[in-house]
Structure 1
């Protein structure tokens, strides 16, 4: 299956527009590294419900501890220029090429793009975008632990059929729908829920209560000595040392990396 440029552009545009729902301008800005990972997640969510087939047809590779596609990277700027997104450039702290951040707030365009994407993508991708936004370390950690990644070694192609294995028992729960909302909408929802809880507590307060007496906990010498004894079972304190650890390349295919039990 060849990569579909139009679908790649659609997901890139959609991801930026979802971030644009945030009230804080700082949170609306995404860079290429974030957008690439959100396209990867879109492909994974789609593959879960489509027998391992991805939405974009991109051939993803395990590169530098994450999923990578040069095709997707090359489409970031054209896709965002096409919807007239705002671009800001910053000088890199590492002396290499400049950093770029994009943002765009357009509710009408967002609704249009959302209507062009499968629900299998939008519900979960919305949740992840609002959760991670441009928090690079957290986003990379989350993506790194997805099934196609933990079953691959560096420079290998990713197998999205592995994502289907996690579908059993999954459902589009109310909690997932709430998490897919922007922070502003989640805040309004929580305020309404808080009001309902207050009303419930007021009604509950009018009912007779049975209060059980609670004894004060003992913090005497016996308690203190008991805590010391329990702590002593852990052994001596660790000494501070700097060590170098080397791992075999076989670690990439180990069962422990996949979260499986090892006998």
Structure 2
């Protein structure tokens, strides 16, 4: 859950000048992002039953797992300022990483801009995401070289002529294509029937 909140903060920072939605004090801890005040907040939610939790020990180290219940409570993404493509991307992340913790950690640790510039033990700067969510306007390129303009015009003319010749050939072939109408079909059938009704030619030759 920590890493999903971190990813949500990244998406919020893209659209809100580097500001996170959780307000957590993220810093580079061990291999990835961590926030002490977020841990306290999640523990409080777990104690109220708003978040499910499980604490255990693995290889001599204590750990806790947190997850949302069947009917989670809380504000929607749009209510916290994550809308449009940001909300769609977060939904895609949740579905993609829901059952694959290793991929979630890999994405959060190595494929987000704040972590790429982070220093172990130091605060994580979300300001690098200020311009990440902005769509750059497309710049049209104009050609000022008259020689290039002339070459483009000549090329366009050759393409147009080739297309016109192709259409002419198609019309010529269509004009000379045989037409099989109903009269032709009936006449062919009558001739076939006449051939079938004729008696076979008698073989009267004598062999020496």
TM range (shorter): 0.5 to 0.7
List alignment gaps of at least 5 residues for structure 2.
Answer: 137-208
Distance 1:103 1:167 in 2: 28
> Residue 50 of structure 2 contacts residue 68 of structure 2 at CA under 8 Å; is this kept in 1?
no
Query: How large is the RMSD of aligned CA atoms in angstroms?
Result: 2.6
- For the pair shown, the structure with the greater C-alpha radius of gyration is 2
Distance 2:2 2:49 in 1: 17
Measure how far apart 1:125 and its partner are: 2.2
Aligned residues: 133
List alignment gaps of at least 5 residues for structure 1.
Answer: 1-34, 171-263
| Secondary structure of residue in 1 paired with 2:90 | helix
Residue 135 of structure 1: aligned partner: 100
The reply to whether residue 97 of structure 1 matches residue 65 of structure 2 is no
> Residue 9 of structure 2 contacts residue 21 of structure 2 at CA under 8 Å; is this kept in 1?
yes
Q: Could you state the TM-score of these two structures normalised by the residue count of structure 1? A: 0.44
Alignment of 1:1-263 (within 5 A): 35-89=1-55, 91-106=56-71, 109=73, 113-114=76-77, 116-120=79-83, 122-144=87-109, 145-169=111-135
Task: Return closer, same or farther for 1:81/1:114 CA change in 2, 3 Å cut-off.
Answer: farther
Measure how far apart 1:115 and its partner are: 5.8
